[in-house]
Amino acid sequence: MAAGAGLRALVVDDSSVIRELIAVNLQLEGFEVTTAGDGESALQLAVELMPDVITLDVMMPRMGGFEAVEHLRHDGRTAHIPVVMVTGRAQAADLARGESVGVEAYLTKPFEPAELVEVVTRLARRGCEAADH
């Protein structure tokens, strides 16, 4: 059985190439993947789909990743969903801000697909367990 079988991921990035790369890697592991191109769409989809994990870019139009995480954490329906930031912005200030808003993991672009799958799978399982309680 694939590592992500039965798990749902929401992949959010304004780059269609990056979105597709992340989605394909997760789908190969059995994840059911939905994608979005900005933070506002991500918030709507998070409430509709209740994914087990969300990957988010930092810099996006309409609403960036950090702001999206703040909204997710302040909504009781989505506060438990683990978030993995997948971004080119990896300065200490970015990492600190991510931690302060409640990001569970931080991967920098270019990322290693195997590492992405491992981190997302681990957090999705935890998110799935949190949703069951």
Tell if the pTM clears 0.95, that is, is over it.
no
133 falls in which pLDDT band (50, 70, 90)?
Answer: very low
Domain locations in the chain? 8-132
> Which fold, 8-132?
Rossmann fold (3.40.50)
Evaluate whether 87 touches 69 at the Cβ level (below 8 Å).
no
Instruction: Give the span between the Cα atoms of 39 and 97, in whole angstroms.
Output: 16
Please return the burial class of 20, using the count of CB atoms within 10 Å of its CB with bins 0-12, 13-18 and 19+. middle
For 27-41, how does the pLDDT look when each residue is reduced to its tens digit (9 = 90+)? 999 999 999 999 999
Instruction: Give the span between the Cα atoms of 120 and 126, in whole angstroms.
Output: 10
Which SS3 state, helix, strand or coil, does residue 74 take? helix
For 52-100, how does the pLDDT look when each residue is reduced to its tens digit (9 = 90+)? 999 999 999 989 999 999 999 999 999 999 999 998 877 888 888 888 9
Q: Is the preceding omega at residue 110 within 30 degrees of 0, hence cis?
A: yes
Instruction: Give the span between the Cα atoms of 110 and 125, in whole angstroms.
Output: 24
Instruction: Give the span between the Cα atoms of 90 and 34, in whole angstroms.
Output: 25
